[in-house]
Amino acid sequence: MAAPTTSHSRKKKLGSYPTLLVVFSITLALVVIGLFGLLLVHAQKLSEVVRENLEVQVYLDRDLPETELLRLQQDLGQQPFVAERNGKPQIRFVSKEEGARQLLQSTGEDFRQFLGDNPLRDAYVLKIKPEFTDTTHLGQLNRSISAQRGVFEVQYPQDLFASINNNLTRVSLVLLGFAAVLVLVVVILINNTIKLALFSQRFLIRSMQLVGATRLFIQQPFLRRATWQGLASGLLAALILVALLQYAYLEVEPLRLLRDDLRLGVLLLGVIVLGVVIGFFSSARAVHKYLKMSLDDLY
Say yes or no: 213 and 281 in one domain.
yes
How does pLDDT run across 212-235, given as a tens digit for each residue? 666 666 677 778 888 888 899 999
Say yes or no: 183 and 219 in one domain.
yes
Say yes or no: 219 and 280 in one domain.
yes
How does pLDDT run across 233-264, given as a tens digit for each residue? 999 999 999 999 999 889 888 888 888 889 89
Say yes or no: 109 and 208 in one domain.
no
pTM attached to this predicted model = 0.68
Q: What percent of the chain has pLDDT over 90?
A: 9
- What's the Cα-to-Cα distance from 44 to each of 119, 263, 280, rounded to whole Å? 41, 10, 31
Say yes or no: 142 and 182 in one domain.
no
Say yes or no: 39 and 187 in one domain.
yes
Q: Looking at the 3D structure of the chain, how many domains does it have?
A: 2
Say yes or no: 246 and 132 in one domain.
no
How does pLDDT run across 98-152, given as a tens digit for each residue? 776 776 676 656 555 555 566 778 888 888 888 888 788 888 888 888 888 888 8
Say yes or no: 128 and 189 in one domain.
no
Give residue 211's domain range.
Answer: 2-48+173-298
Say yes or no: 95 and 30 in one domain.
no
Kindly report the CATH number assigned to the domain that includes residue 128.
3.30.70.3040
91-97 own/partner pairs: CB under 8 Å, 24+ apart: 91/124, 91/125, 91/126, 91/127, 92/124, 92/125, 93/69, 93/122, 93/123, 93/124, 93/125, 94/122, 94/123, 94/124, 94/125, 95/122, 96/120, 96/121, 96/122
Count of Cβ atoms closer than 10 Å to residue 133 Cβ: 23
Say yes or no: 35 and 61 in one domain.
no
| Paired strand residues for 56 | 126
